[in-house]
Amino acid sequence: MAWRCSANTNIGLINNLKASGIIQSTEVYRAMSLVDRKHYAPIKPYDDSPQTIGYGATISAPHMHAYALEYLKGYLKPGMKALDVGSGSGYLTSCMASMVGENGQVVGIEHISELVDLSTNNVKADHPEFLESGRVQFVTGDGRKGHPENGPYDCIHVGAAAVKTPMALINQLKSPGRMFIPVGSELHSQSIYQIDKDENGEIKEEELMGVMYVPLTDAEKQRGNW
């Protein structure tokens, strides 16, 4: 039913996602209600579909963001720390920041500097206090390598498909910690994987759903696509 979740307003979209059973928790409902997609997807913000944001990047469909937040919510509690790889427009970074609260932090990483500027300006328009307090930080860098300077992280979200799971990201997870990542190639099937690291550092992978994401690649290849 995900494709039926489009609406004319942000709260209408969120209510449709809840009615469809994709949003199941009060934490995710609240976070997505507080972050208005019009600041992050200016063309058709409340359509439940992926949209281009320029520079060879897209903002995922709202239902995929809702799934990500639901699977990660146990690791986005107040005071926790998260990494958003391929943070794009900054939308999901802001939703995650809403969930970790004033004492938490979310780092968004992008290898396209123009997207870092875009996401920063988007959050300034929606929740400037996230940036002013340091609750949200955007950095330019290779997301496949993560951002160890601020790690380790309670959870990591990856917004582009890796051919295989980057070990650098697994290494930056806390014990326990969780990662939500699409894995697969552009030409073949992709699936979202939930990767859990337990308190002893043991890794468990679970395939959640089939998807189609843009590839997790380097800046030069991405710039060659636009």
pLDDT tens for each residue of 130-177:
999 999 999 999 999 999 999 999 999 998 878 888 899 999 999 999
Give the span between the Cα atoms of 200 and 31, in whole angstroms: 31
Q: Which 3 state secondary structure label does DSSP give 177?
A: strand
* Residue pair 70/134 in contact by the 8 Å Cβ criterion: no
**How would you class 79 by CB atoms within 10 Å of its CB: exposed for 0-12, middle for 13-18, buried for 19 or more?**
exposed
Domains of the chain: 63-225 (3.40.50.150)
Of residues 68, 88, 82, the one with CA closest to residue 135 = 82
Q: How far apart are CA 88 and CA 117, in angstroms?
A: 10
- Cα torsion 162, 51, 68, 111 to 10°: value is 50
Q: 221: pLDDT confidence band, cut at 50, 70 and 90? A: low
Catalytic residue of the set 25, 60, 113, 185? 60
Residues 6+ apart with CB under 8 A from 129: 135
Q: What pLDDT, in 10s, does the model give residues 71-100?
A: 999 999 999 999 999 999 999 999 999 999
Confidence check: pLDDT of 40 > 90: yes
| 6 flagged as catalytic | no
The C-alpha atoms of residue 218 and residue 3 are separated, in whole angstroms, by 31
Write the CA distances from 71 to 24, 89, 119, 149, integer angstroms: 10, 21, 23, 25
Give the C-alpha distances (Å, rounded to integers) separating 38 from 24, 143, 217: 23, 25, 27
pTM of the model: 0.92
Torsion sign (Cα): 35, 39, 45, 51? negative
Mean confidence (pLDDT) of the chain = 91
* Identity of residue 215: P
